[in-house]
Structure 1
């Protein structure tokens, strides 16, 4: 607590000073002999109590107090005067003086009035502090309630009902229902599932939030809050979304030397889309968090799906290195984004399961005895920290598999296809059925078949059927329609047309050797 004594008579000032110093209270005491020096102290220190004589060189004590008072500064005042003048007393009351002491006064009386006023100041400050704490607690509680609701909006789709809109208005967030917005998810890079606990990580979270809050002073309307994993979530009506995101990334890097991951949603038009925006931004954030890239990340909706194990097995057989790399790129990103709560071990397990399924498919379609995934691949995956590292390990292993199976004669695959045709030519035997039997993609099987036999699959199947029909026409007594059905044709007219085109004669002419 601060107190200033203002008296132009040195002896009186010294007496007042000694009297105040005898009071057993915690205070800082200032003294001044002129209005000018007193004004300088008051403006700099803003004491809670001013004790001043009325008559001072330059201006009266009353004028001094009146000059110092403002909306933000209202000290308690005790006036000391040697004049028993009603006008002085009246003006003292007007400026809010607590007491009016007439000289001469007793030291005991002076001390009593000072003590009484200091105790009053102490009680008022205590009450003011309590009220400020209560107000602060109320603000914290209101903010927590607001943030909890915003988290709910992120986690589940919430219809814009009347009570929801009223809550938005209470928090000055009705703009979420009235205009387009975007959503960011932000945190330190390398922690897609959230940072560990600890002082260092708490400081990082605070530093990121501090930078974003400063930038938001220029970007309205916006609201910043944290999700349950202590990642920062920003809802903003700002149209230049990428510009804001780049500034956040750059300024956190510049001032705090932190690399942050930032995932951004597309522009949303409806309040109910906050949930979709959060999922989009979260997916992009997780990918960015594990990527070596530093630019802003958006969820890609046009990358396409990764290949199934069966399709990837076919690609490996075709030795299409570029396509392998593309499909692995898509697979790794979808593995990261499919399960938002998946941890590092789940991620590695998912990749290994995919590789194991590919090996199973390769074994089905070849006679090559492929070994299980080497331990070195497990160890390499466990050491990966970025998407690019995961891609490199998976690509390297799959291309190694591709080289290994390419040493097997392609004729063995076609031989199996030919065996299937010779056993089942009478069925409705499509290329897809053969491809499924061999665990091959039909496109790759078609290309391989033409390369090895010089015929398309359909040409070869037709030739097989017609040759068998010729044999039956010459060696059996079956009727023509029975022969047609036995070689896979259920339309006699179509059979006759195909037969004549291939043989140059109708089935009947061929049978009787015309």
Structure 2
């Protein structure tokens, strides 16, 4: 604790200095003054924790000095030196918030007891302030994480919503480039909770520190989403090299392997979610690239550009058979596909590998991450598929593919995963019932056993809008009802419809309705 003494008698200042040094060694004397004005200047400059001051002093007495310091928002605690005949001064001191007094002449025990009481009050106040600060920081972190998650899932046609989310996260809109990556670890990140996850996030930030902004959130049990922003062109090759360095560093420190999908660089904020979708799609190619591969989306574009002998129509039929749990139909289609492949004389091993990947992804793309990780056949076989050369004949590869498809169907049946007649309708109903809860695309993926990338595409295809836009509109519609039918305050309505930040809620409400919540309550027919 730092202390300043203010008294017009030098003998008293020197005496108090010695007593404090002897009986309260926890306090450090950082200065002394001999009148109220000098004391005022010294205290503002040095910012002590405790001030011992006399009352009667030239130029400005102790009470006037305290009054001036309070006006300057000084947070020091004051101990007044007072005589028994100075009760009126003590009363005025209490009006200024002074709680501690030492009678003259000063006794060692009284001084020690008083200073220790002041120190305990300061420690208690600091502990409460730290607790409040930590609570505010936790709320802020949750709000930022939620906004980042929504930003990644927003969709490219949600400019109004994206702008508002960027404001919450404080990411610049103008003259900025954006790129996303998805990190997926070999197992759940349960071992990296708390400090472990913080260290992982720290390593990500350190490895990518050459970029202006690095944002990361835990997207699902084993996945971490990363967004990089920069006010200049992002050199894609440099980003890929940094990701490789990150992968090696994390493995050395935690022995955790990870695969990474990297989206393309975007120059418009509303296309952030597109880069994220690309990252997730690139990550799905780990089935042939390996479970510790770094996969830029640019590589997938090149693969997708090649000519494939099997039509999308046949692949769609295979997906339908998988949905309907039609094992016989699936086997027949696999044999039909390999019959077509066999007739393609010019097909290279790489083309064959890509074709097999298309078949596998079509059968798995609706599965959630949780299913994918616990699926024994996929875990033991697909993730170990490094090249087609491990199979000596096309027939061997064909039989292996049939076994995998049969394994996936058995897995679905064993875990009683029902066929969804209209999964989007079920999801919309769930959102209408749970709109007040934090329900992200990843949460829905885990609940409804469906891959988040596929869910995002399917929701847009079935409804014409992104999931996040639907959620926001549902919440705002409910807020409108509450504004009309209840006397709840705006911040209470904000919390009831699933938002933690009243300012964010008010801005979003205005952008979606054209007026602020308070204005809508006064005139709900103005829309």
TM-score, length basis structure 2: 0.48
Choose between structure 1 and 2 for higher RCO, CA contacts under 8 A separated by at least 6 residues.
Answer: 2
TM-score, length basis structure 1: 0.50
